[in-house]
Structure 1
Amino acid sequence: MNNLFLYFIRQKIYLILILILSFVSLFFISLKIDGSTNKFLIQNDPEKPIYERAIKLFGSDNSEVITIGTKDLFTYEKLSKIKDLIFELKKIDGVIDVDSLFNQKNIVNKNGELHNDVFIDPYSIPKNKKVLEEIKQDALNNNLVKGIFISNDGKYLFIDLRLKNDRSSEYSKYIYNSIEKILNKYRDNFSYLT
């Protein structure tokens, strides 16, 4: 008799817990997360106008970073695949700009002359291993790109996608799915691509 009584008490407690959780979950259905940094800025912050000018100048603070890693990353074959990947990413509606070693300037002094060519010209990727190793070393020795577009050990490259300033869940899903669709075509070429 005692066991039967405890059984019914437990069932009532479970039922009450289910009802409470169901009621609380109704509030989570309409929960939205705003990833905008604008909400975190203090209204009278003296740096807010600087932030707003930067958004106006660059178009957005919304970005995604693609990380690429593999053994022997600086080969003609791998860099050609990365170039193709970048060209496809640029075609996504809502991608404002794509930054990588393929469009970053390498400002160096050679024989008393200032040179500012891109690290890797996407239209003429070198095939010579020695030249490719020099490009890698130039990037690793340049604090403007090291840790931003190339990892400190040179085993990973980063591609920064600047996106239009739309925080809606529909746009986020569209961007995510578009990027993933493109990345899936290239995943077999790299040991790490995300």
Structure 2
Amino acid sequence: MISSVSHTKFAAQPTDYSQRQPVAPTNSQDQDAQKDPALKPADSQTTDTKKTRELSESDIKVVNELKQRDVEVRAHEAAHLAAAGSIAVSGASFEFQQGPDGSQYAIGGEVSIDTSPVSGDPAATLRKADTIRRAALAPAQPSGADMQVAAAATAMAAQAQVELMQKIQATQNGDKDRQGSQINLSA
């Protein structure tokens, strides 16, 4: 079904660790774990030191890279959410990969926002386009998709500016017409 409200998703692009460790499938359990940390699998709640003692050096390196990526992805999506404010349609959703230690790490994510213009109100559309652009460029390192969203917001702002100028001109022209049609009578 097509909705009258268009949505854009900001996405942190996943890093490919598939050459070192197979990617675990993302499932609803992973998404539920994001909402409630208590829903994480029991093995992911064990201490890091116990896990790392059982891992090889290369596995430890992969785990450290995954941990770093997890932090980057979460910060990236949090920046989008904070800047999007009321135009955010949903919270962040994440793509997960299971590390050699058995824990799930966020390797990609997205935030959906409403990118539709405000019907009949170019000034509001202009403000919304500015919010969209700020949300797209909020992370320290915007992705290619983020840059595309920012460019689309800039185009939306330009169109809204044109509509706003046309509206102002129409109002001014309407005032001139009314002034010219007045007749002053005095006796």
Query: What TM-score results when the alignment is normalised by the length of structure 1?
Result: 0.33
Query: What TM-score results when the alignment is normalised by the length of structure 2?
Result: 0.34
Higher relative contact order (CA 8 A, sep 6+): 1
- Select the structure that is richer in strand: 1
